[in-house]
Amino acid sequence: MFVKLTGADRTATAINASQVTFVSQVTEGTRIRFGEGRSVTVVEPLDEVIERLNKTLSFPET
């Protein structure tokens, strides 16, 4: 499932939640990493990004 966020350059950014491998807080907002060294930085705070990614149900329950 895709999640729409706002990129650091203020453009709309859609990401495939099932491809996310790592999420971290950075000065500009939140960095979302994918496989093969790809990443995108969004302006939403870390907690909001995690909440929105979890709502996609793309992650296994722990």
* Unique residue bearing structure tokens 């500009």: 28
- Residues 19, 58 contacting (CB under 8 angstroms): no
Cα–Cα distance measured from residue 41 to residue 57, given in angstroms and rounded to the nearest whole number = 22
Q: What is the pLDDT of residues 6-58, one digit of tens each?
A: 998 999 999 999 899 999 999 999 999 998 889 999 999 999 999 999 888 76
| Closest by Cα among 18, 25, 23, 46 to 33 | 23
pLDDT of residue 49: 94
All structural domains of the chain with their residue ranges? 2-54
